[in-house]
A and B are shown apart, each in its own frame.
Chain A
Amino acid sequence: GESVGLHLPTLSVQEGDNSIINCAYSNSASDYFIWYKQESGKGPQFIIDIRSNMDKRQGQRVTVLLNKTVKHLSLQIAATQPGDSAVYFCAERGNFNKFYFGSGTKLNVKP
Chain B
Amino acid sequence: GAVVSQHPSWVICKSGTSVKIECRSLDFQATTMFWYRQFPKQSLMLMATSNEGSKATYEQGVEKDKFLINHASLTLSTLTVTSAHPEDSSFYICSASPRQGTSPLHFGNGTRLTVT
Residues of A within 8 A of B (CB): 1, 31-32, 34, 36, 41-46, 49, 51, 89, 91, 93, 96-104
Contact = CB atoms under 8 A, between A and B. Distances in A.
Contact of A43 (B32, B43, B45, B93): B93
Contacts of B46: 1, 98-101
A81 B49 CA distance: 36
Contact of B102 (A41, A42, A51): A51
A98 B34 contact: yes
Contact of A103 (B43, B59, B97, B110): B43
Given A32-B102, A98-B34, A42 B43 contact: no
Q: Kindly state the interface size class of chain B when it binds its partner.
A: 20 to 34
7 contacts: A41-B109, A43-B107, A44-B93, A45-B107, A97-B97, A101-B43, A103-B43
A11 B97 CA distance: 30
A3 to B, nearest CB: 11
A36, A43, A46, A93 — most chain B CB neighbours (10 Å): A43
A104 B38 CA distance: 12
Contacts of B36: 101
B104 A96 contact: no
Contacts, number: 56
B106 interface: yes
B36 to A, nearest CB: 8
A52 to B, nearest CB: 10
Contacts of B105: 34, 46, 91, 99
Given A41-B112, A46-B104, 7 more contacts: A41-B110, A43-B4, A51-B102, A89-B44, A97-B97, A100-B46, A101-B36
Nearest to B4: A43
Interface string B73-116: 00000000000000000000101010000101111111010000
Contacts of B112: 41
Interface in B12-53: 32, 34, 36, 42-46, 49
